[in-house]
Structure 1
Amino acid sequence: MQEATYRGTVYPWQCDHVGHMNIMWYVGKFDEANWNLFARLGLTPSYLRSSGRGMAAVQQNITYRRELLAGDIVEIRSHLLEVRDKSIRFRHDMTNAETGEIAAFCDITGVHMDRSQRKSAPFTDAIRAVALQHLAEPAEA
């Protein structure tokens, strides 16, 4: 099983008037998982800075299954689903680490881009090779 790309806690100030974690925090925790997944693929902060490249989300779909409450421990595991010339598609599974239940999952398509030209750019051969080694099918939710 792949290592977690995010692990954290739901704080009371992240909860809404209904008492569960507000949707803005799901997005934030998924975003943190993005950067850990990207680093595993070679899309590290130093690579992105030195190459003038970046990653942009072009599609994101979140499915909510179970509520998360203040004090819950959250874990996200990420699965790379598709690698193309200039884009990747991946899924994050967010679970309640105590119960193991999936609280939400998120499917994202990200595009590799040239920051100066503001256009998509092909992945380097090295990054593409690493990414292809990480292709996996997600656990059934």
Structure 2
Amino acid sequence: MLETYRGVVYPHQLDHMGHMNVQWYTSKFDEATWHLFSSVGLTNEYMVKNSCGMAALEQKTTYEAELMPGDLVCVKSEVLEVKNKTLRFKHYMYNTETQALCATTELLAVHLDRIKRKGVKLPEFVSQSVLLQEA
């Protein structure tokens, strides 16, 4: 798996029960997503130049262990499936100091034409990049 995020839990990210609120899990996973996309060639430069983008179609998150203020966080990611227009991938969030798995999220995203606002075929280099990462 590829490391796609590294950060820390800040006090302003807590909910009224004293642990990291679910919105921040989603935020950290979202930042990891852009690093994962870039690693397979779906860079910001590519998206701007080609008027393309990626949009989430499905997301399933599981919470395994609480994260508290000051906890160091690492997200590792993997591509599970590349289809014609879609990419399925999974993120794993760990407490860096304890190595405990804290949360996972699996997403299905579609490659889209931002002008036509519809799904379009993923470029061939995405599949090739995924195969290289698996080797």
The answer to whether the superposition gives a TM-score over 0.5 is yes
Identity fraction in percent: 45
The CA deviation string for residues 37-77 of structure 1, in whole angstroms up to 9 with x for no partner, is 00000000000000000000000000000000000000000
Report how many aligned residue pairs link the two structures.
135
Partner of 2:14: 15
Partner of 1:57: 56
Partner of 1:45: 44
Q: Is the CA contact 2:40–2:125 (under 8 Å) kept in the aligned structure 1?
A: no
Superposed displacement of residue 132, structure 1: 3.4
- SS of structure 1 residue aligned to 2:53: strand
Partner of 2:81: 82
Give the distance between the partners of 2:132 and 2:88, measured in 1 at CA. 14
Superposed displacement of residue 3, structure 1: 3.5
**Contiguous gaps of at least 5 residues in structure 2:** none
Q: Is the CA contact 1:81–1:135 (under 8 Å) kept in the aligned structure 2?
A: no
Q: Is the CA contact 2:2–2:78 (under 8 Å) kept in the aligned structure 1?
A: no
**Contiguous gaps of at least 5 residues in structure 1:** 137-141
Partner of 1:105: 104
Q: Is the CA contact 1:41–1:127 (under 8 Å) kept in the aligned structure 2?
A: yes
- SS of structure 2 residue aligned to 1:134: helix
Give the distance between the partners of 1:70 and 1:134, measured in 2 at CA. 34
The CA deviation string for residues 68-124 of structure 1, in whole angstroms up to 9 with x for no partner, is 000000000001100001001000000000000000000000100000000000011
Are 1:93 and 2:92 matched, yes or no? yes
Superposed displacement of residue 127, structure 1: 2.5
